[in-house]
Amino acid sequence: MNTFLKVFCCLSIVTLFSCQSDQKAPKDQDSIKSSIPLTKEFNEYWYSGKAELSSYELEQSRYGEIRKGEVVLVFVTEPFSIKKQVKLDDPEKAGKDNISVMKLNQVRKFTTGIYDYSIVSSTFTPVDLSQYPHTLKSNTSIQEWCGHTFTQFNLAKNKYHMKQFSYFEADGDTEKDLPIALLEEELMTRLRINKAQLPVGEVDMIFSTVYSRFFYKTLEATKAVISKTESDTLFTYTIQYAKYDRKVTIDVQKTFPYKIESWTEDDGDGLITKATLKKSINEPYWEQKKTSYEAKREELKLIK
């Protein structure tokens, strides 16, 4: 049996025996759901046993100056536990608890003077958005020489449960519930799954955890307006928050596999994040640990 048929059969079995989701979308979030069926093209690309690795040139504002840096986006599908909300070690034994997710690891690195910043966000969005309309989990860690913070969202029955750990006294350790809303961190996974489509119009959204930490904003579900324009090759989405001076734009390719071409985050007064695609490759990077694979870093145009 060839690879595609194996994947197709596995997906069919998972779909047949998956338990009914207890996730209930609020009425004003119904447009978030996807009814677009998976295609042979999608399955052959995303279930090939490889991840998509993309490097981006980064301009990052911090402490009143623009810093040069780098972002890597790692997109890959994984078997995921609905109950535990972790990657499954043995998906065949998980039965109804196994669903397929699109995982995005975003790794952002830049320097501020003498010291480094490293920001990693991981987001896990179900591939079958019609049955599982909400991202199951998203977390962000920010490391720099002063210390680090960690924030995580887990989907509960009718809410997101948020935990935050910080070395800052003002933040401390926080735990609270938020109403279900779009996470800013899940916009890119949805674009990849949903044929470069996002809901257009007013939505409830929880803004980026990086924005929350950098600008000392309490995480909340708030109103944002998503608009869309297009060129010959790209869709451009603009996300404008109603209560906050924050605007995000995402340029995504109009054709499969709908790669993210660039994005910007404008927080007013010239405070920005700007990322522009350098190179994209598909590799089973988890198997490429030996020094002989370091040449792949050059192929991906990563900063040494």
User: Which DSSP string do the residues of 205-243 spell out, in sequence order?
Assistant: EEPPHHHHHHTT----EEEEEEEEEE-SSEEEEEEEESS
Q: What percent of the chain has pLDDT over 90?
A: 82
The predicted structure's pLDDT at residue 168: 84
Among 146-160, 165-179, 200-214, the range scoring the smallest mean pLDDT is 165-179
Q: Output the average pLDDT for the chain.
A: 89
pTM check: above 0.85: yes
Q: Where are the domains of the chain?
A: 3-19+32-299
Nearest of 202, 185, 197 to residue 241 by alpha carbon: 202
Contact 268, 64 (CB under 8 A): no
Which tens digit of pLDDT belongs to each residue from 186-207? Answer: 999 999 999 999 999 999 999 9
More confident residue, 270 or 113: 113
pLDDT band at residue 36, thresholds of 50, 70 and 90?
Answer: low
The predicted structure's pLDDT at residue 37: 60
Mean pLDDT of all residues in 217-242? 97
The predicted structure's pLDDT at residue 18: 35
pLDDT band at residue 304, thresholds of 50, 70 and 90?
Answer: confident
The predicted structure's pLDDT at residue 157: 87
| Residue 14 pLDDT > 70 | no
The predicted structure's pLDDT at residue 34: 43
The predicted structure's pLDDT at residue 270: 75
The predicted structure's pLDDT at residue 271: 78
Residue written as token pair 């402490």: 63
Neighbours of 77 (CB within 10 A): 20
